Amino acid sequence: MDKNQAIELMKSSTSKEDWNNKCDQVKAANGGQYPEWWYSEIIISSLCDQVLGAGSSQIRFQTY
User: What average pLDDT does this structure show over 1-16?
Assistant: 94
Q: What single-letter DSSP state applies at residue 32?
A: T
The model's pLDDT over 10-54, given as tens digits with 9 standing for 90+, comes to: 999 999 889 999 999 999 999 999 999 999 999 888 888 888 887
Q: What is the DSSP letter of 56?
A: G
Check: pTM over 0.85? Answer yes or no. Answer: no
Backbone angles phi, psi at 63, to 5 degrees: -130, 25
- Find, among 14, 3, 4, the residue nearest to 37 by Cα: 3
How would you label 10-49 residue by residue, b for 16+ Cβ within 10 Å and e otherwise?
beebeeeeebeebbeebbeeeeeeebeebeebbeeeebbe
